[in-house]
Structure 1
């Protein structure tokens, strides 16, 4: 599994891991943070680099990634079910900020994408970076 760390303005590390059929966000191991909710604020430059990295690793993880607007609950990245922890995680995106509610306090895992959720996430991410 490959990984890259992106630092927030506050010094937190967002780890982006990729493998076949999954892209995973985690909070950096160096941070012992309690709580479910994270507001990860990035500089504009880091936010753009994050988008470029996500697009690159998504194209490695899945074939035929086509960013498109969410048109169903299965495509909407806002909520995802984590089978490993039997709980939901949540994600929203706005200018230079990822707001994430992780599914479990016992893990650094914040969010795991499937192909369709990633397509809608990239679609929205690109729209924010372009504006």
Structure 2
């Protein structure tokens, strides 16, 4: 069992996945900061100072000054602002991943075109049939 585990860990895909997860976690922190520190203030500017992260509804009917106060009081809440921020985070991450995949595909296509042109430019030698015909003709002589 230990040998199987070592073989599993030694595979390149596992290491690539681990690197991807670590980079993804760091990228999530960047996107969260982008949404909270840049996008939300811009939206608040256009909505008259409203802050998305503070949107909530207390289900117990009481009025709380902030979402933190409602949470500390133990009130059940709908944290609408957090949900909206999660959707914005997802859309930003999905767009960035789309752009990365698009860029990687472009690079792959360019490399494939280089290989095709290199193959087309290579001088064509005699085919196997041509060589066999030459050998046949030489044997006939």
Interval of TM-score (by shorter of Structure 1 and Structure 2): under 0.3
TM-score (norm 1): 0.19
Q: TM-score, normalised by structure 2?
A: 0.18
Q: Which has the higher strand share?
A: 1
Q: Which of the pair has more CA radius of gyration?
A: 2
Which of the two has greater helix per residue? 2
- Higher RCO (C-alpha under 8 Å, 6+ residues apart): 1
